[in-house]
Structure 1
Amino acid sequence: MPKFTSFSGVYPAMVTPFDENEELDEKRLRALINFLIERKLEGLYITGSTGESFLMSPDERKRVVEITVDEVKGRIPIIAHIGAIGTRVSIDLARHAEKAGVDAISSVPPFYWGFSGDQIHGYYADITASTSLPMLAYNVPMAALGFDIIKRIAGIDGMVGVKYTATTHH
């Protein structure tokens, strides 16, 4: 399986399909993956907010990663969002994603309480150090990383970029 060293182009934030009983729909997930690959996208961003990560259990998130890696078969890079409300769960998801074969990981900053810059830096440093995968910080409006924090976490070994989400693009 090829290892991707740079990430550019379109990486859609992939949805995660569920059936009428709120169970992961593997057949539809595999079909969606192939539909997106057929559109010549450069990669996939999975298990993020659009992928319903915060509505899934860690085991469900792991299963989505496993199915996606199996279906992609190295054809395009996969970035797995591993963010959770706690560092321990995020590290567990990151280690699983690495073993499963994704190409990079990403995480929202800790967001429930008002965390200091030192705490946010520590969160990203701990997660990034837990694997050999490149990390992208996920800057979302509800937990916006200020420019000073972005500059600071950019110095973490293994931090390669920022996934930026905004309500406007002015």
Structure 2
Amino acid sequence: MEKAIFLDRDGVINEVLTKRVKFVNNPKQFYLLDGVGEAINLMKNMGYKIFVVTNQGGVGLGFMKEEMLKLVHEKMKKEIAKFGGEIDDVIYCAHKPESGCSCRKPEPGMIMSLAEKHHISLSESYMIGDRDVDIIAGRKAGTKTILIGNEEGVADYEFKTLFEAAKWLGTVQ
């Protein structure tokens, strides 16, 4: 069994609800947050598999097509690769909010699916997100949890940035 980092996308990896971009509906609106590429490189070098688990209700609501979402994820991977980082897999829930599906966070379906597919030990893994729905999904799946940002939440650990979290992870190895 391997260990993994499950990352939320919007607000952890890329800008959202900023002066430059409200939502990411095409690759031109994707801006990597400072330090993210370096953070993912650090975590990868610590032996973690790196996964992105993201709610993308804009697809179900008709704001973007799945093909465009895939292009956004390709741009994300290329931007992260510039820093030596690598994403092992990306999974998303394209259902509408309030659809009641088992994959949309705060449900743990996406995490559980990736863990089964990649033989991940959830108890040795972390879910990192910027909202309580991410943390709740991680808890339901059995991971440790890290909240990114300025909000206090229900996470096991809290950091202002993904880079700070990655540096800390290096000290608890």
TM-score (norm 2): 0.35
RCO (CA 8 Å, sep 6+): is it higher in 1 or 2?
Answer: 2
